[in-house]
């Protein structure tokens, strides 16, 4: 059984295995110092020497990113719904969202930290703010992109997106139309929220994998820093795969 599982893993992830072998050979042949480029063996040894240390900080990063993602998605859907119902609100918020998306993450984080303060809540708030605008734009686009045939049918029933039956139109037509876009936003933002949480921790220096990387760098423990970076990549890929699985499972319920 173990042999079958091992062969299956090699067949499925052979590219990663080749990359690790190339990495090890490159470091060994060029005799790089561990401060310049640690080998995979050194990185793995650093992780195995204190796995609880890495896992505790990984959990902090994961929980902060997940909390920020949920909060950002919730704010994005609520504000997009209000914008759909109130064009004036949409006209005020759309330029602001485009402006925020044009600012680099690294430049925006110190400003937000100054406003909300330092602490674990800062990572969640920054992640929520930076994931809010993509969700807002995608969800609002879905609300406005209603199937024309269904819209004509609802119009024949005197159910318009404005007026007394606006909530009925929103519930039975606009909202189902926007759900595929919401699932897409979750898939796209899942790895981004890990990156935002990581950069925030790196700049703030409190807890999390970002803190592990910056503290290890100050002591020239690049093997520890690289181990934290690899764990961050695995979290990001895992987040993306979970979000993709959720999208594939539920998208058919809302598709035309």
pLDDT in tens, 91-111: 777 777 777 767 777 777 777
Q: How many domains does the chain have?
A: 1
Residue 53 belongs to a domain: no
Residue 208 CB contacts under 8 Å (≥ 6 apart), including other chains: 57, 60, 61, 64, 123, 197, 198, 201
Residue 137 belongs to a domain: yes
Residue 21 belongs to a domain: no
Residue 94 belongs to a domain: yes
Residue 123 belongs to a domain: yes
Residue 14 belongs to a domain: no
CA neighbor of 69 nearest in space, from 199, 243, 247, 193: 193
What are residue 241's phi and psi, to 5 degrees? -65, -40
Confidence at residue 124, expressed as pLDDT on a 0 to 100 scale: 86
Confidence at residue 69, expressed as pLDDT on a 0 to 100 scale: 92
Confidence at residue 7, expressed as pLDDT on a 0 to 100 scale: 57
The CATH number covering residue 109 comes to 1.10.3720.10
Give the tens place of pLDDT for each residue, 181-222. Answer: 888 888 889 888 888 888 888 877 678 888 888 888 888 888
Helix (H, G, I), strand (E, B) or coil at 157: coil
Residue 23 belongs to a domain: no
pLDDT-derived band of residue 248, with 50, 70 and 90 as boundaries? confident
Residue 32 belongs to a domain: no
> What is the reported pTM?
0.81
Residue pair 213/203 in contact (Cβ under 8 Å)? The answer is no
Extract the runs of DSSP E, i.e. beta strands, from 84-136: none
Confidence at residue 14, expressed as pLDDT on a 0 to 100 scale: 64
**DSSP conformation class of 19:** H
For residue 182, the enclosing domain spans 58-249
Confidence at residue 11, expressed as pLDDT on a 0 to 100 scale: 61
CA neighbor of 185 nearest in space, from 238, 222, 132: 132
Which segment of 4-18, 76-90, 180-194 scores lowest on mean pLDDT?
4-18
CA neighbor of 184 nearest in space, from 77, 79, 65, 64: 77
- Which run of H or E residues covers position 249? helix 222-254
Calculate mean pLDDT across residues 60-72.
91
- The mean of the pLDDT values for the chain is 79
Give the tens place of pLDDT for each residue, 223-240. Answer: 888 899 889 988 898 888
- Does residue 154 have a pLDDT over 60? no
Which segment of 26-30, 144-148, 228-232 scores lowest on mean pLDDT?
144-148
Give the DSSP per-residue string, 20-60: HHHHHHHHHHHT--TTT---HHHHHHHHHHSHHHHHHHHHH
């Amino acid at each position: 059984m173990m042999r079958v599982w091992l062969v299956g893993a090699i067949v499925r992830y052979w590219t990663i295995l080749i990359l690790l072998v190339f990495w090890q050979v490159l470091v060994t042949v060029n005799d790089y110092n561990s401060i310049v480029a640690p080998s995979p063996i050194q990185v793995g040894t650093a992780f195995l020497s204190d796995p609880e240390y890495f896992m505790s900080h990984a959990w902090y990063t994961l929980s902060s990113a997940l909390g920020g993602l949920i909060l950002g998605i919730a704010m994005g859907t609520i504000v997009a719904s209000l914008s759909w119902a109130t064009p004036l609100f949409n006209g005020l918020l759309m330029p602001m969202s485009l402006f925020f998306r044009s600012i680099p993450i690294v430049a925006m984080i110190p400003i937000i930290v100054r406003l909300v303060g330092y602490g674990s809540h800062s990572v969640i708030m920054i992640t929520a703010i930076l994931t809010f605008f993509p969700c807002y734009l995608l969800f609002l686009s879905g609300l406005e992109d209603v199937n024309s045939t269904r819209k004509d049918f609802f119009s024949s029933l005197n159910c318009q997106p404005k007026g007394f039956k606006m909530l009925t139109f929103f519930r039975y037509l606009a909202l189902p139309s926007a759900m595929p876009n919401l699932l897409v936003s979750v898939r796209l933002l899942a790895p981004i929220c890990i990156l935002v949480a990581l950069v925030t921790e790196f700049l703030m220096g409190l807890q999390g994998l970002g803190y592990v990387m910056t503290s290890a760098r100050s002591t020239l423990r690049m093997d520890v820093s690289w181990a934290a970076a690899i764990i961050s990549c695995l979290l990001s890929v895992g987040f993306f795969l979970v979000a993709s699985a959720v999208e594939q499972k539920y998208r058919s319920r809302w598709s035309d």
